[in-house]
């Protein structure tokens, strides 16, 4: 009766507000960080929240997310278009916003270590937080953040997007740090190296033998992200053989 079997029944139309929420991740100092903004008004005044905002009348959710990403990081639209941005899922609980019916499309963005977001406008409110040590966030953002973290961790297993956390040129140690930080585990360095280098298209060595000085130890070779997007076979997290095996 209230449904629309043919697809769309104008009589059943009910107006929703549609927003995007962004979980913008980066890896800083071996910790996963997420960009948060402090709320200045009720509800949840003073609480921290994921950046986000309304989808405009002539804008896709993807475009809105990209726009918000630029605004909150204080960068230009152009400079953020290289960042990895992926839709997570949509949150639609009727009571997720106490004021009105708001459906939110959540996105995860992966960015390299950026300077503190002190761009002109909106970005002034934004700040990086340790993703595992945020207080309780506004609305259902704790849930969204947890889902986003889970998703990114899973994506690292089957895709090459760990490079999205790194600058244009990076060492294998830095790439490994991304995995270790997102997964919260330590990986064996030679094994990680072997896996990355034998996966065609994951990374490509920077031509000459340039090296980066980070401090101690032997200088590391530099690499760039390769053309591959999928990781086949996957790079599975350690741990977790659930039970014993037969033999």
Partner DNA sequence: CTTCTTAATGGTCACTCTGACTATAAAGAA
Partner DNA sequence: TTCTTTATAGTCAGAGTGACCATTAAGAAG
Residue 190 in the binding site for DNA (CB under 7 A): yes
CA 157, 62, 147, 109 torsion-angle sign = positive
**Contacts with its own copies, 88-117, as mask; x by CB under 8 A:** -xx-xxx--x-xxxxx-x------------
Give the closest residue to 182 by CA, choosing from 144, 214, 152, 140.
Answer: 152
Contact partner at residue 219 from DNA, its own copies, none, CB < 5 to 8 Å by partner kind: DNA
Please choose, out of 27-35, 98-106, 112-120, 171-179, the segment that lies near DNA by the rule CB under 7 A.
171-179
Determine contact, residues 83/107, Cβ cutoff 8 Å.
no
**Contacts with DNA, 210-229, as mask; x by CB under 7 A:** -x-xxxxxxxxx--------
Angle at 108 between CA 102 and CA 113, to 5 degrees: 135
Q: Kindly tell me the burial class for residue 198, based on how many C-beta atoms sit within 10 Å of its own C-beta (0-12, 13-18, 19 or more).
A: exposed
Alpha-carbon distance values, 110 to 21, 91, 130 (Å) = 14, 20, 15
Least distance to DNA from the beta carbon of 31, Å? 16
Contact partner at residue 180 from its own copies, DNA, none, CB < 5 to 8 Å by partner kind: none
Contact partner at residue 135 from DNA, its own copies, none, CB < 5 to 8 Å by partner kind: none
Q: Which residue from 8, 30, 115, 216 is in contact with its own copies, where contact means CB under 8 A?
A: 8
* Residues from 52 through 71 that contact its own copies (CB under 8 A): 52-62, 67-68, 71
197 contact partners, CB below 8 Å, separation of at least 6: 172, 203
* Residues of this chain that bind DNA (CB under 7 A): 171-173, 188-191, 193-195, 198, 211, 213-221, 233-236, 238, 241, 245
């Amino acid at each position: 009766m209230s449904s629309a079997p043919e697809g769309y029944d104008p009589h059943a139309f009910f107006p929703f507000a549609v927003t995007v929420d962004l979980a913008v991740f980066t890896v800083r100092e071996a910790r996963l960080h997420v960009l948060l903004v402090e709320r200045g008004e009720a509800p949840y005044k003073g609480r921290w929240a994921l950046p986000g905002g309304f989808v405009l009348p002539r804008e896709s959710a993807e475009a809105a997310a990209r726009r918000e990403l630029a605004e909150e990081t204080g960068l230009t639209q152009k400079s953020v278009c290289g960042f990895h941005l992926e839709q997570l899922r949509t949150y639609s609980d009727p009571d997720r916003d106490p004021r009105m019916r708001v459906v939110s499309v959540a996105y995860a963005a992966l960015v390299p270590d950026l300077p503190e977001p002190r761009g002109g406008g909106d970005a002034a409110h934004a700040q990086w937080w340790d993703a595992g040590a945020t207080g309780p966030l506004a609305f259902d953002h704790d849930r969204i953040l947890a889902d986003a973290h889970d998703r990114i961790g899973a994506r690292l297993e089957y895709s090459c997007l760990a490079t999205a956390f790194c600058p244009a040129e990076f060492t294998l140690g830095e790439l490994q740090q991304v995995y270790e930080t997102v997964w919260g585990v330590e990986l064996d360095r030679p094994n990680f190296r072997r896996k990355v280098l034998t996966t065609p298209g994951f990374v490509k060595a920077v031509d000459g033998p340039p090296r980066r000085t980070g401090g101690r130890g032997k200088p590391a070779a530099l690499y760039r992200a390769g053309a591959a997007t999928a990781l086949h076979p996957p790079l599975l997290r350690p741990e977790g053989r659930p039970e014993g095996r037969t033999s």
